[in-house]
Amino acid sequence: MLLIGLTGSIATGKSTVSSLLSSPPYNLPIIDADILARKVVEPGTRGYNAIVKYFGPTTPDLLVAPSDTMPEAGPDGKGRPLNRPALGRRVFGGSEELKKDRDVLNGIVHPEVRWEMFKGVVGNYLRGHWAVVLDIPLLFESGLDRYCGTAVVVAVSDPEIQMKRLRARDAHLTAEDAENRVRSQTDVRVKARRAEARGSGRGLVLWNDGSKEELQVQVDAALTQLKTQSPGWWSYLLLACPPLAVAVTAWRLWDNARINKEWEELKKQTKQKL
């Protein structure tokens, strides 16, 4: 089964691409890291308790305020849900302090998300899917690209388009909040270069400066290429022969480690040239 790591930066079009991939004619299963990151911090979970413990004392508005519709102890007595915009203000931005808190939040949420993803991947492998899409905003930053057969980056070359789409979609964010969110992530053009550096079939870039129709054309071409590379019979063979699946996974990990080493070298050389 092919693991397709789908990434980009905020509002560059990952969800738009994943909804195309989950619809006919592809019907691919999607494992969405943003959705899992919400699930693992619902009231009463380990993630929720850890966040309240660390951020609670210094963030008075960390939880949704009590109201007529929100009881003090939360809807089911496990606590009120997190006030996500408030937590976002604690962790998004370029300062050292924000970065430190972002690392703490990532340290709480990411291991839980990884475990949920693992369960999702195994479930889809057992159902015999030829591919599964891992929609992960922080694919490279979290190191999860190591497990993927292909990394697909949805990118825009013009940062103004990204900002315009972000502000239009998330109208509740101030201009400063939006800037901070964009600044909290690696520049999407760097991610695009990294996907290209993985080599043909291992890394793909979908440029999304144009219309959604233009994006669809690129998605069609990418899927045709990936389907040729990883045909259905190959998935059935991996399902019928679990030791082969383990060997292929080990080889994939080794090959991705090599690819990432080459990328680090390339980054070093580019820095030296500047």
Ligand X SMILES: Nc1ncnc2c1ncn2[C@@H]1O[C@H](COP(=O)(O)OP(=O)(O)OP(=O)(O)O)[C@@H](O)[C@H]1O
**CA nearest neighbour of 110 among 74, 82, 147, 138:** 138
Cis peptide, bond prior to residue 25, ω within 30 of zero: yes
User: Taking the complex as a whole, how short is the minimal distance between the CB of residue 72 and ligand X, in angstroms?
Assistant: 32
What is the x/- site pattern for ligand COD, positions 181-220, by CB under 6 A?
x--xx-----------------------------------
* CB closer to ligand X, 3 vs 178: 178
Query: In angstroms, how far is CA 30 from the centroid of its own chain?
Result: 11
* From ligand COD, ligand X, none, interface partner of 212 (C-beta below 5 to 8 A by class): ligand X
Q: Is 14 one of the binding residues for ligand X (CB under 6 A)?
A: yes
Q: Is 16 one of the binding residues for ligand X (CB under 6 A)?
A: yes
Cα-trace Rg, the chain: 20
Q: DSSP of 61-83, one letter per residue? A: TSBPPP-SSS-TT-TTSS-PPB-
Residue 240 burial class via C-beta count within 10 angstroms: exposed 0-12, middle 13-18, buried 19 and up? exposed
* From ligand COD, ligand X, none, interface partner of 13 (C-beta below 5 to 8 A by class): ligand X
From residue 70, alpha-carbon distances to 42, 63, 80, 81, 172 in Å are: 15, 11, 7, 9, 21
* CB closer to ligand COD, 4 vs 10: 10
* CB closer to ligand X, 34 vs 61: 34
Binding site for ligand COD (CB under 6 A): 10, 33-34, 37, 84-85, 87-88, 91, 102, 105-106, 109, 113, 137-138, 181, 184-185
